[in-house]
A = this chain, B = another copy of it.
Amino acid sequence: MRILRQHLSENGLKLTRQRLSIAEQFLDCEGHLSAEELYHQLSDGSQRVGLATVYRTLKMLVDAGLAQVRHFPDGTARYENVYGEPAHDHLICVECGRIIEVENPLLQELYQRSFDLYGFVASGHRLVITGVCGPCQNSR
A117 to chain B, nearest CB (A): 9
Contact residues in B for A106 (Cβ distance below 8 Å): 110, 114
Query: What count of chain A residues pass the 8 Å CB interface test?
Result: 37
When the two chains form their complex, are residues A114 and B125 in contact, meaning their CB atoms are under 8 A apart? no
Judged by a CB distance under 8 angstroms, whether A122 is at the interface is: yes
Docked Cα-Cα span, A48 to B133, in Å, equals: 43
Judged by a CB distance under 8 angstroms, whether A83 is at the interface is: no
Judged by a CB distance under 8 angstroms, whether A127 is at the interface is: yes
Residues of A within 8 A of B (CB): 69, 71-73, 75, 77, 91, 93-94, 100, 102, 104, 106-107, 110-111, 114-115, 118-135, 137
